Amino acid sequence: MAKGSWQESMRLAGPHIDLGYRIAGAVLIFGGGGVWLDRSLDTEPWISIAGTVLSFVAILGIIMRFNIEQEQQMEKDRKPGPAAGENGSNAGASG
């Protein structure tokens, strides 16, 4: 196993792990909050349903934002540097 491959794997997996935490957070906050409010206000199941719908909307937004960020990162990684001779290194050469 090459040195640094574990670190590189974790660097690449980091955004996907973060995505999982964001999704779990949305479900816990909106879904769990809806259940808690329903029990507290004795309005079952209406606030739970609203919380579930809100969690789905939040998850959709989280995934869309993640995809946009990944596409931007791929575009940034795909841009080539200046080609040989384009950076002005031949400006002082006599011909």
pLDDT digits 0-9 by tens, 15-69: 999 999 999 999 999 999 999 999 999 998 999 999 999 999 999 999 999 999 9
Residue 12's pLDDT is 86
Q: Is the pTM of this model over 0.75?
A: no
Domain boundaries, the chain: 14-75
**pLDDT higher for 79 or 34?**
34
Under the banding of pLDDT at 50, 70 and 90, the label for residue 85 is: low
Rounded Cα distance, 31 and 12, in Å: 30
First vs last Cα of the chain: how many Å apart?
A: 50
